[in-house]
Amino acid sequence: MTGQTQELREWSRNEVMAALRNILVESLGVKDEEVVPSASVVRDLGAESIDFLDVSFQIQQTFGVNIQAAEIRDRIIAWGALILPTLVEILEGRYGVKLSGETLRPLEASGVEGVLAHVRSAHGLSIEPGATDDVGRELLRRLIKEFTAFGFVVGEADERDLMAIIRTDLGTRRITERTMDLLTVGSLANFIYAKLGPRLRAE
């Protein structure tokens, strides 16, 4: 079927999911039963960088929409760069101190707990009990807001895991690995639904 014909075709959500399942089975060499909405494209289905190019091409050919799966992956990686600037903003607003991302970067491996200990000793502040959880939750809330605006669903289990990580490790590697799990079959389908717009019909 030509791209022009695909651009005119209407799709139901069930049809989109069935077609996407076929694309992922063929591109990633996985079993049909593995491709469920909750499956992480990277962690569960084993997608690598080169696979995203093929998946993107197959989506364009099938649906007549431009979904750059590799760009989505790159966006997740770039998202890690927001962590320290966002934390600096929170701490400056909360404690009235002047900080910088470069000052805090050596403390990444100690997480929010280590950063607060540094702020306490370097600035002579009294850090209230429970501050680690409060600051961590605010940091996570702001980051999730950025993430959900991009079309991802962040469940309670995801929030708990991310919170446990940022308490003790603000390095981008672990957080990026965990947030990459949010690129699920279901979220990829959501991107396609959004691109289809008026061509997505009710069941």
Q: Where are the domains of the chain?
A: 3-78+183-199, 81-180
Looking at residue 95, its pLDDT comes to 93
Indicate if the pLDDT at residue 148 is higher than 80.
Answer: no
Looking at residue 172, its pLDDT comes to 83
| Contacts of range 136-139, beta carbons closer than 8 Å, 24 or more positions apart | 136/112, 136/163, 136/166, 136/167, 137/163, 138/90, 139/83, 139/86, 139/87, 139/90, 139/112, 139/166
Looking at residue 3, its pLDDT comes to 52
Which DSSP string do the residues of 143-184 spell out, in sequence order? HHHHHHHTT----HHHHHHHHHHHHH---HHHHHHHHHTT-B
10-63: pLDDT as tens digits: 999 999 999 999 999 999 999 999 999 999 999 999 999 889 889 999 999 999
Looking at residue 6, its pLDDT comes to 65
Indicate if the pLDDT at residue 82 is higher than 90.
Answer: no
Looking at residue 194, its pLDDT comes to 87
pTM of the predicted model, to two decimals?
Answer: 0.75
Mean pLDDT value across residues 73-83: 79
Looking at residue 5, its pLDDT comes to 59
CATH architecture of 3-78+183-199: Orthogonal Bundle (1.10)
Percent of the chain whose pLDDT exceeds 70: 95
